Chains A and B, each alone.
Chain A
């Protein structure tokens, strides 16, 4: 598989040019197989997927919106090669509006958005990237949502307009799905997820950035069955977020064996042992990184020797940190301590209290004995 990939990558420039005219059969079947595998379907589904893609006479119109974010998900999107970016943009999807990929700017861009929405009203797929700031900036002219304005409209207005008229809303990346880094404490801009800001139910392809294979598989699922894939309680499709990273981790054997990296750079790290003790959040993170990896199976954090930071989980920056510890710290008034410290203090207090009371009893034995005698006296 790897060799095939490398061969393909070698031929890439030529192939990419050809792909603009028509995709060759080999690439097309490879694409369909990749998608079938990601969706967890067996080989007999490959022809059906091919049929569905071919049958889609009008390619699904996609309006890709950017809100408060770093464009990392678009960066991930344009690094796809199974399918390649050209295939995605021109052959598989009809991306009618994408602020960072389209040539138009200024008023022409605004016009493109208006046209795209009118042409496919109620039929397009809205892909959202980035969180929506809801807070009001300080100052006399501050209005709610003013932290983000595109073409004179606030992020909230834009999101409600575009998502409200879409057939389906797909959030890519953690920001759109759950608010991302900017929604973490103290969250000065009041950033929230798309579904919270608009009230529209969304399908969340979470991650920082999201994995393109998952977003494309979701769109193909939509083409194939006319509906979005089954999602978990957080709106993430189960085909990609139904298992934890830990469940299919290539280092899982070392976890079960009790072989752990104690610190980065030690012998265990060289032998690719489990990163559990240096704070890997794989056991609490739902994602399929461990099976599909990133950048066309090139690598992913744990393969690179760094623990998972749980980027596909809600509020991961707050909940999963510190990233190099197993557990989050407990914030008590004035103190921040680990659960072990709090617990050992408690246990120590109990033991000290018991010892103190035993000493007190020894010193005041008579008092306790008299208590017993009092009873007899009353009788």
Chain B
């Protein structure tokens, strides 16, 4: 337990503020979010350009070239932040979360339990300190689709490159393996829709979870902290090999934490 504790007055329930992510992981989430939005909007235009700016001679308008420039720039940002996040998954200061995203048998079983619990209600509510297994599998899907999007995007981007370079010959070998550039293109488009599919479920689940189970995942991805009722801690004490080092807060600590700031001063 890192941050602090608080106790609600008039209610015996104790809440803990738990650090779940480093500020870098939070920042990268929103950088990826923004770049995916830019990529989707510009990508849909590139796939089916439905309007153009300015009429007359081509030099008076540069719509497609601009859209492609934004698309490639956002793609570069996405790939860079994605690789950084991959590095953070092993080295993050507070949550080395690579295990939470992999569909290990344990995660898959727990994801099914959660899906049942979330989907129909009933059963036992399970709180997770970090990403829960169901979310982890969804995010694993997103990782796969974003990787496919980035990979196929790079294959298409390499087409205009220098034909004598190693990069070009590598990409053309891969393209031939996939069955031609048109297949690469179809995979690129479909991956985008699959990504949208998982993103819609992801956003819905986060909002739903905040309302129904009062889990604070949304604040966790913005600020890096999550608030838990103390009774839930018991469950996640031993998940993913993470142990709670701290002893439960003493009464004095809780009083101190619940005292308004100005009074303490």
Contact = CB atoms under 8 A, between A and B. Distances in A.
Interface of A: 230, 232-234, 238, 242-244, 247, 253-260, 276-277, 281, 283-284, 313-315, 319-320, 326-328, 330, 339-340, 342-344, 346-347, 349-351, 353-354, 357-358, 361, 364-365, 367-368, 370-372, 374-376, 378-379
Contact of A371 (B53, B62, B124, B159): B124
Given A232-B172, A244-B160, A342-B193, A258 B63 contact: yes
Interface stretch (B16-24, B27-35, B181-189, B256-264): B181-189
B244 interface: no
Interface in B158-215: 159-160, 163-164, 169, 172-173, 176, 179-183, 185-186, 189-190, 192-194, 196-198, 200-201, 204, 208, 212-213
Contacts of A361: 121, 208, 212
B123 interface: yes
B125 interface: yes
Given A238-B163, A349-B197, A357 B232 contact: no
30 contacts: A232-B172, A233-B169, A233-B172, A233-B176, A234-B172, A244-B159, A253-B59, A254-B58, A256-B64, A257-B61, A257-B63, A257-B64, A258-B53, A258-B62, A277-B48, A284-B159, A313-B181, A326-B47, A327-B182, A339-B189, A342-B193, A343-B196, A350-B201, A354-B201, A354-B204, A358-B204, A371-B125, A375-B232, A376-B231, A378-B124
Contacts of B121: 361, 364, 367-368, 370-371
Contact of B52 (A238, A259, A346, A378): A259
B197 A346 contact: yes
B196 A347 contact: yes
B115 to A, nearest CB: 11
Contacts of B181: 284, 313
Contacts of A242: 163
Contacts of B48: 277, 326, 340
Which of A258, A319, A328, A371 has the most CB atoms of chain B within a 10 A radius of its CB? A258
Contact of B182 (A319, A349, A357): A319
A375 B231 contact: yes
A364 B122 CA distance: 10
Contacts of B60: 257
Nearest to A310: B182
A343 B125 contact: no
A358 B207 CA distance: 10
B156 to A, nearest CB: 8
Given A257-B54, A257-B64, A368-B212, 5 more contacts: A258-B62, A313-B180, A346-B193, A361-B121, A371-B121
A-side interface mostly: helix
B65 interface: yes
Interface residues of B, number: 55
A372 B180 contact: no
A129 B160 CA distance: 29
Given A253-B58, A257-B52, A259-B58, A319 B125 contact: no
Interface in B240-255: none
A124 B67 CA distance: 52
Given A233-B176, A259-B58, A328 B124 contact: no
A260 B231 CA distance: 62
A318 B204 CA distance: 40
B84 interface: no
B49 interface: yes
Given A327-B182, A327-B185, A346 B194 contact: yes
Contacts of A368: 121, 212-213
B186 A330 contact: yes
A371 B51 contact: no
A358 B4 CA distance: 34
B14 to A, nearest CB: 12
Contacts of B232: 375
Given A233-B172, A361-B212, A343 B231 contact: no
B117 interface: yes
Contacts of A315: 180
With most chain A CB atoms within 10 A of its CB, the pick from B159, B180, B183 is B180
A353 B60 CA distance: 45
Nearest to B174: A233
A81 B58 CA distance: 35
A313 B181 CA distance: 10
B132 to A, nearest CB: 15
Contacts of B160: 244, 247
Contacts of A328: 182-183, 186
Given A244-B160, A354-B201, A379-B231, A343 B61 contact: no
Given A233-B169, A277-B48, A319 B180 contact: yes
Contacts of A259: 52, 58, 61
Contacts of A378: 124
Contacts of A232: 163, 169, 172
A330 B182 CA distance: 11
Contacts of A314: 176, 180
A148 B69 CA distance: 51
B119 interface: yes
Q: Which of A283, A371, A376 has the most C-beta atoms of chain B within 10 angstroms of its own C-beta?
A: A371
A69 B53 CA distance: 47
- Chain B CB within 10 Å, residue with most, of A242, A315, A368: A368
B186 A233 contact: no
Given A257-B62, A257-B63, A367-B121, A319 B179 contact: yes
A340 B185 CA distance: 12
Contact of B185 (A244, A284, A353): A284
A166 B124 CA distance: 77
Centre residue among B117, B123, B200 by max chain A CB count within 10 A: B200
A330 B192 CA distance: 15
